[in-house]
């Protein structure tokens, strides 16, 4: 982190959201990244498990991308539908 980033009050933000259709499973994921619009410092997500969860939320190993399972309104997913994801455990 440079000196400018340390002094920045982080009052304005930019968010990047990518939505992906996972062809093999028929599921959808939103990938979210947030950074300070003024100094460019990325933000980290807190409290999410590391990895990918096709039925919930997880984050990238660096914490800078939230991976959120999404579905069209009214679509109920059956628990046995395809792959459910993977986790990463930090030691």
CA 49/CA 58 separation, integer angstroms: 5
User: Tens of pLDDT along the chain (91 residues)?
Assistant: 777 778 899 999 999 999 999 988 889 999 999 999 999 999 999 999 999 998 899 999 999 999 999 999 877 665 555 555 666 676 6
CA 88/CA 50 separation, integer angstroms: 5
CA 57/CA 52 separation, integer angstroms: 7
> Which residues constitute the domain of residue 9?
3-88
Q: How far, in Å, are 26, 50, 75, 86, 87 from residue 47 at the CA level? A: 27, 9, 27, 17, 14
pLDDT of residue 50: 96
How many domains does the chain fold into? 1
pLDDT of residue 67: 97
Phi and psi torsions of 74, nearest 5°: 90, -10
């Amino acid at each position: 982190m440079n000196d400018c980033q340390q002094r920045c009050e982080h009052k304005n933000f930019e968010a990047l959201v990518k939505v992906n259709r996972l062809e093999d499973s028929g599921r959808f994921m939103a990938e979210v990244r947030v950074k300070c619009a003024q100094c460019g410092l990325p933000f980290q997500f807190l409290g999410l498990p590391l990895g990918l969860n096709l039925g919930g939320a997880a984050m990238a190993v660096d914490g800078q991308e939230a991976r959120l399972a999404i579905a069209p309104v009214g679509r109920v997913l059956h628990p046995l539908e395809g792959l459910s994801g993977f986790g990463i455990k930090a030691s």
